[in-house]
Amino acid sequence: MADVLSIENIKSFAAAWYNALDTHAPVEQLQEFLAEDVEMNFPPDPPFSGYAGFKAWYVDIIVKTFFDENHNVVSVEVVNPTATSAELNVVVAWQASWFRATGLPQDAKSHRTSMNAFQKWIIRPTEKRGALNTFGLEATYYNAAVKPFEYAPGFAQL
């Protein structure tokens, strides 16, 4: 199990997660990356837990709101590693577009954000494997904003 928690495997796991988000992969494939009882926080939305909470957030908010997303991993730092888990400090640069209006008339133009998000994950080895997650890891905790987002000048804010 030690090689599963190698920094190379962890970075590949993170990159695959973000790629799945960028391509709006089916929710079942994204759940491959998550423990069934995962605790998640994606401000400004309220925290949630488990597969049902993730599915509601992802399907009802993310997929219906954002498009042309790009996540670029800036850094992944492993802190407090043990034989059975690792805490990660992840910095990801995220760009996405969306329309603010949810009804008619629709906004004439989309809004675009560009930011760095400072995240904390706790991951652990798992026997679970899937189409996208072949890394033998799953997230048990995921806080997408341990610090305020750092927005690029001139871009929209959430």
For residue range 114-151, list pLDDT tens digits in order: 999 999 999 999 998 887 888 999 999 999 999 999 99
- Kindly report whether the global pTM for this prediction surpasses the value 0.75: yes
Band (103; pLDDT cuts 50, 70, 90)? low
Residue ranges of domains in the chain: 2-98+111-151
Of 12, 21, 28, the closest CA to residue 42 belongs to 21
Average pLDDT (69-73) is 97
Whether pLDDT at 107 is above 90? no
**Structure-token pair, residue 125:** 């080895």
The answer to whether 138 and 111 are in contact (CB under 8 A) is no
* C-alpha distance from residue 105 to each of 61, 64, 65, 108 (Å): 20, 17, 16, 9
* C-alpha distance from residue 94 to each of 70, 120, 124, 155 (Å): 6, 16, 25, 12
Q: What is the 3-state secondary structure (H, E, C) of 28-94?
A: HHHHHHEEEEEEEECCCCCCEEHHHHHHHHHHHHHHHHEEEEEEEEEEEEEECCCCCCEEEEEEEEE
The CATH number of domain 2-98+111-151 is 3.10.450.50:
yes
Average pLDDT (63-78) is 95
Per-residue model confidence (pLDDT) at position 157: 93
